[in-house]
Amino acid sequence: MFKIPEDRTRKLEGMRERGINPYALRYPETITVGEAHALIEAGGTPEVRVAGRVMAIRHHGKSAFLKLKDSTGMIQLYFQRDRIGEDEYKAYKLLDLGDFVGVEGECGRTRTEEATIFANSYKVLTKSLLPPPEKWHGLRDVELRYRHRYVDLFANDDVTAVFRLRSKVVSEIRRYMEDDGFLEVETPMMHPIAGGATARPFITHHNTLDMELYLRIAPELYLKRLLVGGLDRVFEVNRSFRNEGISPRHNPEYTMLEAYQAYSDYYGMMELTEGLIKHAIAKALGTEIKELDYQGKKINLAGSWARKSYSDLLQEKSGISLTSSESEVRDCAKKLGIETEGIDHWKLLNEIFEDTVEASLIDPTFVIDYPVPISPLAKRKEDDPNVAERFELFIAGMEIVNAFSELNDPLDQEERFRQQVETKDEEAPAEVDMDYVMALAYGMPPAGGMGMGVDRLVMLITNSPSIRDVILFPLLRRTAGSETTPPPDGSDGDEDSCQ
């Protein structure tokens, strides 16, 4: 838990004694700090009204400088006793770092030319009872930063900048997709069958229907039902959930863009992907970017991005090919220290690929034509039924996009679903999604589809080493008693809603 320092409580009471509401109801008709700066830049000395959080106070006897911060920036305030009056000047001693105040005053500059609001009056808007972090270093402790992101945000401007960029990226993704004729849709997050990807799901339960539900691991199968329904271009910026490990590149809930385009295919998806990512980067960073620096790696974004076949890359880096025998693949895997016990041939092959190839794909590279057995939702190539029309886009060794020409043969789909179910793999769906097969049976137009990891794209653009740096509230273990107070009756809380 936390302790409120006595000096702050004392000041809170001091405010109330003076008839000041430490939690004011409102402070309307303000301009932003950014607007105030613009007015000062324009050379005037207008009267303005601003509001924000006090980030610094420098007392000078009968005057004081304060720094006021709002979401548009920081501006200096100058409180002079003679200007704001004896009483108000005395009361300003009750202000602390972290408090919110509203100020009226005249814009101008100090003799060092710093833009400043010379306060005529001020109003306490919110008393802060906990001291902010150290003013120079900010909040460094990563655990506190993630657990108390609100502090991280107001103490560390670079953190705020990352999340502003993230927001920009997401809105530019939407703009690009809409401009290309895609319709944004929302599909269920609670699924009766966890399909559309291979991953362990989170399980939940609906009481009234007495039904097991899974948090979606991907929206794919619902979006493709919409293609059957005649919505030819759809996308969803979606949160999906996977009950798996946490790492610098994995959070149990994460954001994807999934998009489906009728009459297109995976080549079309490559064009869409490249255009979309280039657009998002250019708009987010405000300029056409040819090279991105990610964690010391130079990423060349210029020109058309490379397209290399899965099989060629595998051959080149590991000596294994798609036609290598079972024992060749096993030997190779063993040499790489990959666990081979009970792992099937194609999965092993893919692990060899991940081990030997992925890290080397720094510049954007479309890896194309994956083996069919690890691509259960992709169409087979016409000239090679063992290879699927599928690509993954890698940047900086990270998988950013997975896409394919969508399988729309209901009988083939049903067969591949059955094979998945039969593996009894924990990550495979427990049953065949017959409604989806039925949808395909009504006929789904040929289509390309793609799924893009938005968090990872934002990592690249903001040069963030960990996915947690681009997720406002990453999942952390709950610490004993630190975040909540137990209810007074000693029970575990609301039993109606706890399962």
Q: Answer yes or no whether residue 61 interacts with RNA by CB under 7 A.
A: yes
Is 218 or 444 the residue whose CB approaches RNA more closely? 218
CA dist., res. 268 & res. 371, Å (int): 20
Longest dimension (CA), the chain: 89
Stretch that binds RNA, among 296-304, 307-315, 318-326, 469-477 (CB under 7 A): 469-477
Q: Answer yes or no whether residue 390 interacts with RNA by CB under 7 A.
A: no
Q: Answer yes or no whether residue 60 interacts with RNA by CB under 7 A.
A: yes
Q: Which of 82, 179, 489, 496 binds RNA (CB under 7 A)?
A: 82
Q: Which of 38, 142, 211, 302 binds RNA (CB under 7 A)?
A: 142
Among positions 251-270, residues that touch RNA (CB under 7 A) are: 251-252, 254
The contacts of residue 228 (CB under 8 Å, 6+ apart) are 439, 440, 442, 443, 444
Q: Answer yes or no whether residue 99 interacts with RNA by CB under 7 A.
A: no
Is 143 or 496 the residue whose CB approaches RNA more closely? 143
Q: Answer yes or no whether residue 479 interacts with RNA by CB under 7 A.
A: yes
Is 232 or 351 the residue whose CB approaches RNA more closely? 351
Q: Which of 103, 197, 215, 378 binds RNA (CB under 7 A)?
A: 197
Q: Which of 274, 312, 355, 409 binds RNA (CB under 7 A)?
A: 355
Number of residues that bind RNA (CB under 7 A): 74
Bridge partners (DSSP) of residue 252 are none
Closest residue by Cα to residue 462 from 174, 159, 157, 249: 159
Among positions 273-332, residues that touch RNA (CB under 7 A) are: none
Q: Which two tokens stand for residue 247?
A: 């790492």
Stretch that binds RNA, among 239-247, 318-326, 429-437, 485-493 (CB under 7 A): 239-247
Q: Answer yes or no whether residue 456 interacts with RNA by CB under 7 A.
A: yes
Q: Which of 13, 47, 134, 184 binds RNA (CB under 7 A)?
A: 134
Q: Between the CA of residue 130 and those of 5, 6, 151, 496, what are the distances in Å?
A: 7, 10, 10, 34
The contacts of residue 379 (CB under 8 Å, 6+ apart) are 265, 388, 389, 404, 405, 406, 407, 408, 409
Q: Answer yes or no whether residue 344 interacts with RNA by CB under 7 A.
A: no
Q: Answer yes or no whether residue 477 interacts with RNA by CB under 7 A.
A: yes
Stretch that binds RNA, among 245-253, 286-294, 306-314, 490-498 (CB under 7 A): 245-253
Alpha-helix residue ranges (DSSP H) falling in 180-235: 220-228
10 Å CB burial of residue 378 (0-12, 13-18, 19+) is: buried
CA dist., res. 353 & res. 345, Å (int): 12
Distance of closest approach, residue 443 Cβ to RNA, in angstroms = 28
Q: Which of 39, 97, 189, 282 binds RNA (CB under 7 A)?
A: 97
Q: Which of 140, 206, 290, 298 binds RNA (CB under 7 A)?
A: 140
Q: Answer yes or no whether residue 153 interacts with RNA by CB under 7 A.
A: no
Q: Answer yes or no whether residue 104 interacts with RNA by CB under 7 A.
A: no
Q: Answer yes or no whether residue 430 interacts with RNA by CB under 7 A.
A: no
10 Å CB burial of residue 269 (0-12, 13-18, 19+) is: buried
Q: Answer yes or no whether residue 110 interacts with RNA by CB under 7 A.
A: yes
Provide long-range contacts, Cβ within 8 A and 24+ apart, for 181-185: 181/233, 182/233, 182/234, 182/235, 182/259, 182/261, 183/231, 183/233, 183/234, 183/235, 184/234, 184/235, 184/236, 184/237, 185/223, 185/226, 185/231, 185/234, 185/235, 185/236
